[in-house]
Structure 1
Amino acid sequence: MRRSRYTVIVEDGDETYLIYNTLSAAFLKVPGSAVRFLLDDPDWSRPSDDLSPFQRYLHGLGVLVDSELDEGEASRGLLRDHHARQDRMELFLLPHENCNFRCTYCYEAFARNKMEPWVVEAAKQFVLKRSGTLRSLQTSWFGGEPLLGYDVISELSAFFVEVCRQAGVDYQSGITTNGYLLDEDKARHLVRECGVRQFQITLDGPCEQHDRRRHLMGGGGTYERIYRNLRSLKGVEGSFNVLIRVNFDHEVGGAMDDFLSRLRDDFTDDPRFLVHFFPIANLGGDTSDEINDLPLCDANATRVLEYQLLEKAVDHGFRTLTRDQLGPLSSTCYASDPRNIIIGADGTLYKCTVAFDDPRNHVGVIQPDGSLQLDQARFDLWTEHAGASDPHCRSCTLNPTCQGMACPLHRMNTENRACVPMRSDLPRTIRLLARELSKEAERCQSR
């Protein structure tokens, strides 16, 4: 018996330690005396019949493993088994590829408008043909701004929901929207009739900073209307989550205290609302020069500021995406999954939502009968398991989390791995998760 290569032990003050295993997702807080045997001897090993009761407990959690276990193969097997499941599919749809915003950092070209009618019918036929082999279907509405194609979402959702109901397929949906058109009636319809269970809506900090970056196509602010629509979502009954995405740079990061206090006052009484923070980056497109004019943070400053913002949000009572990003396979890119496909408004098939103009991302075309005409060589660029042959990825503690497939586009562009950001400070991420779970437990006890 020995310590798992995927076990991370982090000091948490007052002689207590946090233990997290990235393969089993086991997470516990223990006194230092309980794990002193591992802290004092990194190469600790013991016959399996000579374990204390607590050590046997740790073995059951995967914190300790059999000495002969090939953990690297066990980690890689997670991804193989996951991708081998042909009864699950994730379908991204672009009901409208134009947008009512012109954000200063946007990478999209807005070359197309609403999804063409023949593509709508082709998407229906695609799902109908596949429904007999599926146990679950996840659709994600993206754009442009998907709510400009609200009628397309409604039509396709009604069809998907009914086909899945008849075939016994679990159906769920999510939408990434700027939130400007998401009034309460639309939100209620999306939840009740369209199966939407996840909303992602962006607020870039306080009103002044947000409106400078996320303004209407013809000019004009958007913050107050989005905020009003967010608040109206609280009145919609149903089981769904709302991720408030906050894109930040150095300037926005320095003006967050009042903004987070307002979010706390308005949303922490509804556990369906989460907050997370994403650094603004230059992803190309026509606004690249404008992006470079923004006060972007360097990589180290970005990570420090992101943790500070996350800690403030947690202290205010918000849930974040931290726990979701730490689990097995949670940081593999959707584009790397062979069961994932994106259907564009003109029928073009893609794998990645941040590289629509990259020819390598044009992996095929949907046919009117719902069949997919794929360019298999391009498709395979996104799905090949490059991390399996990368010695750095194979030896990394976070291998079960990202499998070396955090961003196929980065690897294709640079021939280098794209490490998940939390790798640079994994102990702080684990402490943040403990802090969030502790706050959550305190709220449960006070109810």
Structure 2
Amino acid sequence: MKALSGGEIPDSLSDVIDGFVDQEFDPEYMIFNKKYLEPTILLTYNCNFDCPYCFQKDYRRKDVVQDKVIRGFINYIKRNSKGRKVRVSYFGGEPLLQLKKIEDISKEIDSSGLDYSFSVITNGSLLSPSVLDKLVSLGLTHVQITLDGPREVHDKRRFFVGGKGSFDLILDHLAYAQDKTNVVLRINVDYRNVDEIRELLSTLKERGIIRVRIDPHLVHENIFRNEYWDNLIAKENEGDILAKVWEIAREEGFQVPHEAFRLGICVAHVEDDIVVDPYGNVYPCWAFTGNPLYVKGTLNEDGTVKLNGKFSSKVAREVWKGKCDNCPFLPMCMGGCRFFSVLNRKGFDGVDCQKRSYEEIVKLIRYFV
């Protein structure tokens, strides 16, 4: 803390501090001066896992992305890159079920002369060394893989269709991937596994898996209801739990990244960063995908997008105005997540206050100085 009080800002915190300087908070400036075009494409709603808390559980289909959607996606990028770097996210379902589609899209974009790279959000089961090497050669820079605890915990939560566990296979893939690309290790946290996080991290260290970024996320309800929601962490305890997980990670020797304090701007706030599914439906963000009630437009084959006037990015990024103007956590929150606002019956344009959680999370700043 002495460094901060003396005016010294560590490099790892510079982006965070910039969001809290004593000047008018201007998300419009940050959004319209982005150096990247960051669209997302869902290649399939199908998955080889059957996780009980999956937010797409009611929308699983075996269809794959249509060729006209791929053409539309590529054309969209060519129309809208405007000199910016292009960073695509491949999502699902399980996107690696459609590895050939990633290869086709990557080669087409790369051949157009654009500065292109991509990330993949995967359960990790199909990310073998040969697959990872192929993806890296195509432009992969980041991969997100999920482990929910040590073997006996993870395999009860994240298992293949049919019930077979996935822990050992994913661990093998992680050990290889950490030396080839940037790995984000997501941990979906609820009351059933929060006390097992330390054992998971100890197991990773034993295997030499230490070059990964730990990214805990709380399991939340979705628009469908099932018995799993009885395991969710109460909203008033969310900040305490996240802080606890970060503290454990630090104690076990894993870096607490500055993304723990990331500014609240997300894909829902940025009109250009479309999220398109296998049928060409465009959504506000990843969490709404599959739900026909929250389609905001359609991607055409020529790369244009026909919006329906609902769930606009402008509405999303202005919900805080007149309500949260004086909140010290505004740059981290932006009025809260649009998806959580919908879940909490406040509507897409409602404020979902997370002040209590942020009060706990910002205490972690001591780890950076």
TM-score by length of 1: 0.72
Deviation digits for residues 69-90 of structure 1 (CA, Å, limit 9, x no counterpart) = xx45x212xx111222376421
Instruction: Decide which of 119, 123, 130 is 2:73's aligned counterpart.
Output: 123
Q: Does the 8 A contact of 2:76 with 2:303 survive in 1?
A: yes
Deviation digits for residues 203-246 of structure 1 (CA, Å, limit 9, x no counterpart) = 0001111111111122211111111111121453xxx3101111
Alignment of 1:368-387 (within 5 A): 368-380=301-313, 383-387=316-320
**Cα RMSD (Å):** 2.9
Q: 1:112, CA displacement in angstroms?
A: 5.1
Q: Does the 8 A contact of 1:281 with 1:291 survive in 2?
A: no
Aligned to 1:277: 216
- What is the rounded CA distance, in whole Å, between the counterparts of 2:355 and 2:105 in structure 1? 35
Aligned to 1:292: 229
Q: Does the 8 A contact of 1:95 with 1:141 survive in 2?
A: yes
SS of aligned partner of 1:378: coil
Instruction: Decide which of 97, 102, 107 is 1:158's aligned counterpart.
Output: 107
SS of aligned partner of 1:75: coil
Aligned to 2:45: 97
SS of aligned partner of 1:416: coil
Q: Does the 8 A contact of 2:149 with 2:187 survive in 1?
A: yes
Q: 1:301, CA displacement in angstroms?
A: 3.8
SS of aligned partner of 1:217: coil
> Counterpart of 1:188 in structure 2: which amino acid?
D
Deviation digits for residues 270-324 of structure 1 (CA, Å, limit 9, x no counterpart) = 3xx1112222221233xx313224x332234443333222112112221234x12
Deviation digits for residues 239-282 of structure 1 (CA, Å, limit 9, x no counterpart) = x3101111122231222333211112334553xx1112222221
Instruction: Decide which of 402, 408, 414 is 2:338's aligned counterpart.
Output: 408
- What is the rounded CA distance, in whole Å, between the counterparts of 1:234 and 1:417 in structure 2? 36
Deviation digits for residues 34-62 of structure 1 (CA, Å, limit 9, x no counterpart) = xxxxxxxxxxxxxxxxxxxxxxxxxxx98
Aligned to 2:202: 261
Aligned to 2:288: 355
Q: Does the 8 A contact of 1:110 with 1:144 survive in 2?
A: yes
1:107 aligns with 2:55: yes
Q: Does the 8 A contact of 1:249 with 1:280 survive in 2?
A: yes
Q: Does the 8 A contact of 2:132 with 2:177 survive in 1?
A: yes
- What is the rounded CA distance, in whole Å, between the counterparts of 1:88 and 1:267 in structure 2? 33
Alignment of 1:4-19 (within 5 A): 19=5
Aligned to 1:214: 158
> Counterpart of 1:278 in structure 2: which amino acid?
H
Alignment of 1:294-443 (within 5 A): 295-321=231-257, 323-327=258-262, 330-380=263-313, 383-390=316-323, 393-404=324-335, 406-412=336-342, 413-414=345-346, 415-419=350-354, 422-434=357-369
- What is the rounded CA distance, in whole Å, between the counterparts of 2:20 and 2:143 in structure 1? 39
Unaligned stretches of 5+ in structure 2? 12-16
TM-score by length of 2: 0.87
SS of aligned partner of 2:134: helix
Of 425-434 and 150-159, more deviation after overlay is shown by 425-434
1:175 aligns with 2:120: yes
> Counterpart of 1:224 in structure 2: which amino acid?
D
SS of aligned partner of 2:264: coil
> Counterpart of 1:261 in structure 2: which amino acid?
S
- What is the rounded CA distance, in whole Å, between the counterparts of 2:152 and 2:19 in structure 1? 48
SS of aligned partner of 1:200: strand
Aligned to 2:14: none
> Counterpart of 1:292 in structure 2: which amino acid?
W
- What is the rounded CA distance, in whole Å, between the counterparts of 2:76 and 2:169 in structure 1? 37
Deviation digits for residues 156-182 of structure 1 (CA, Å, limit 9, x no counterpart) = 01112222xx2xx43231111000100
Instruction: Decide which of 16, 31, 45 is 1:83's aligned counterpart.
Output: 31
- What is the rounded CA distance, in whole Å, between the counterparts of 1:244 and 1:63 in structure 2? 26
- What is the rounded CA distance, in whole Å, between the counterparts of 1:262 and 1:423 in structure 2? 29
Unaligned stretches of 5+ in structure 1? 1-11, 29-60, 66-70, 435-447
Q: 1:100, CA displacement in angstroms?
A: 0.7
Which of structures 1 and 2 has the bigger CA Rg? 1
> Counterpart of 1:216 in structure 2: which amino acid?
F
Q: 1:144, CA displacement in angstroms?
A: 0.6
SS of aligned partner of 2:132: helix
Once the two structures are aligned, what percentage of the paired residues are identical?
A: 24
- What is the rounded CA distance, in whole Å, between the counterparts of 1:366 and 1:112 in structure 2? 21
1:231 aligns with 2:175: yes
Instruction: Decide which of 220, 230, 242 is 2:183's aligned counterpart.
Output: 242
SS of aligned partner of 1:158: helix
Q: Which has the higher contact order (CA 8 A, sep 6+)?
A: 2
> Counterpart of 1:227 in structure 2: which amino acid?
L
Regions of 4+ moved over 6 Å: 61-65
- What is the rounded CA distance, in whole Å, between the counterparts of 1:319 and 1:276 in structure 2? 11
Q: Does the 8 A contact of 1:340 with 1:351 survive in 2?
A: no
- Matched length: 357
* Shift in CA distance, 274/266, structure 1 to aligned 2, threshold 3 Å: farther
- What is the rounded CA distance, in whole Å, between the counterparts of 1:355 and 1:63 in structure 2? 27
SS of aligned partner of 1:161: helix
* Shift in CA distance, 298/400, structure 1 to aligned 2, threshold 3 Å: closer
- What is the rounded CA distance, in whole Å, between the counterparts of 2:100 and 2:111 in structure 1? 17
- What is the rounded CA distance, in whole Å, between the counterparts of 1:86 and 1:17 in structure 2? 30
* Shift in CA distance, 98/312, structure 1 to aligned 2, threshold 3 Å: same
- What is the rounded CA distance, in whole Å, between the counterparts of 1:176 and 1:306 in structure 2? 21
Q: 1:395, CA displacement in angstroms?
A: 0.6
